[in-house]
């Protein structure tokens, strides 16, 4: 007799037992690569159990609630596939295994060009941007837990709490949207510098939406996830789009772009934080400009360099002259072009050769306290 099962074969709801074919699985000891396909119709009832999701269906398609009186649900005496309902009907179970823990990499981005076209009535700005993900990642561990508390921890970094934390806000927004009460614990190992113009927080928030949708089996369409992302921040939908993109509007409308010629980027951050809101507030737009045109695909590094443009660069450089120093240092180290990404202060240098990029990164790191890394486009 299994632990937690009484001598008459009753299912002990308190120990969260479930039946999958002839096997009894205890919550928390489940190790599966992903969820089964979602099955929902009027004849199904969803039953959430610590780390396990069940669907019960009785003959005739009537919904059944196994929590109504758990002590009346009995295992089949012949060891078959199912259990008996209180009314004596054999109930067929489909087991949906929810991963209790999942890890994901959230990439950074750079803006290859960023045109600010004008200020909107809602306080946002109309933009036209060429956005590219790069191989620099935050590492997130997302764990489902009992209760309904959402916690976010980031070793080595003090995070804002509640609505000021975009990752926590992302989890709460998703759970509210799908109507689920679920405890979630998120641990972030930060590799992307914070407030650096690389989209680290937005990428983390997008990863949370995507992972919770998978873990909870809600199966939301990509467009619906992106709409949720827009409520969190202008860059979040891009990380759900998952392609190099020409982005317009506030950054939520995308046209796929072929990608980049073979290049390497040296990222340099002077270890200062720049507020995106501050950068836009100090831009000093005097009129609304017409939309920039979708750039042609560059055939080589030189053509790509000619595309580089950022309207926010002049604002941030005026307040943080070290950005200009970084750009000069990258050019002196062999970069074919440089640009500040987003609202800064991170600057990237474009290199056609990996070896040259790595040499430049080492040379710059040798006599500065700046954060430096070499990445490739995704």
Q: Of 330, 233, 315, nearest to 281 (Cα)?
A: 315
Roughly what angle, to the nearest 10 degrees, separates helices 222-232 and 200-215? 140
Dihedrals phi, psi of 215, to nearest 5 degrees: -65, -35
Which is nearest to 229 in space by CA: 220, 221, 238?
A: 238
Contact 358, 342 (CB under 8 A): no
Element (H, E) at 152: strand 150-153
Strand partners, 136: none
SS3 label, residue 354? helix
Instruction: Considering only CA atoms, give the Rg of the chain.
Output: 26
Sign of CA dihedral 53, 61, 22, 78: positive
CA distances from 35 to 57, 145, 220, 253 (A): 19, 17, 14, 30
| Cα angle: 94, vertex 98, 102; to 5 degrees | 155
Question: From its phi and psi, is residue 114 left (phi > 0), alpha (psi between -120 and 50) or beta?
Answer: beta
Q: How many CB atoms lie within 10 A of CB 343?
A: 24
Give me the active site residues, please: 109, 235
Q: Other CB atoms closer than 10 Å to residue 164's CB: what's the count?
A: 9
């Amino acid at each position: 007799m299994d632990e937690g099962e009484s001598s008459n074969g009753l299912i002990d709801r308190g120990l969260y037992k479930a039946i999958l074919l002839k096997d009894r699985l205890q919550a928390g000891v489940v190790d599966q690569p992903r969820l089964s396909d979602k099955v929902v119709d009027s004849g199904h009832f969803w039953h959430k159990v610590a780390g396990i999701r069940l669907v019960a269906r009785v003959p005739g398609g009537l919904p059944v609630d196994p929590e109504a009186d758990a002590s009346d649900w009995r295992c089949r005496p012949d060891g078959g596939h199912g259990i008996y309902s209180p009314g004596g009907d054999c109930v067929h179970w489909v087991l949906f295994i929810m991963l209790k823990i999942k890890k994901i990499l959230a990439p950074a981005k750079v803006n290859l060009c960023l045109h600010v076209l004008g200020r909107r009535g809602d306080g946002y700005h109309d933009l036209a941007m060429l956005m590219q993900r790069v191989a620099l990642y935050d590492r997130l561990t997302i764990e489902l837990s009992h209760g309904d508390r959402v916690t976010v921890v980031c070793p080595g970094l003090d995070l804002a709490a509640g609505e000021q934390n975009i990752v926590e806000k992302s989890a709460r927004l998703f759970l509210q949207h799908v109507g689920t009460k679920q405890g979630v614990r998120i641990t972030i190992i930060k590799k992307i510098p914070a407030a650096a113009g690389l989209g680290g927080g937005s990428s983390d928030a997008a990863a949370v939406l995507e992972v919770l949708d998978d873990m909870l089996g809600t199966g939301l369409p990509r467009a619906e996830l992106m709409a949720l992302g827009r409520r969190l921040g202008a860059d979040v939908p891009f990380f759900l789009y998952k392609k190099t993109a020409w982005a317009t509007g506030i950054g939520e409308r995308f046209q796929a772009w072929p990608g980049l010629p073979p290049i390497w980027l040296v990222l340099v951050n002077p270890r200062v934080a720049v507020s995106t809101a501050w950068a836009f507030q100090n831009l000093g737009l005097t009129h609304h400009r017409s939309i920039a045109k979708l750039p042609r695909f560059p055939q080589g590094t030189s053509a790509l360099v000619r595309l580089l443009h950022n309207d926010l660069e002049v604002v941030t450089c005026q307040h943080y002259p070290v950005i200009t120093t970084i750009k000069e240092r990258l050019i002196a180290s062999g970069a074919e072009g440089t640009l500040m990404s987003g609202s800064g202060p991170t600057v990237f240098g474009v290199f056609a050769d990996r070896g040259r990029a790595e040499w430049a990164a080492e040379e710059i790191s040798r006599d500065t306290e700046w954060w430096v890394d070499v990445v490739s486009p995704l």
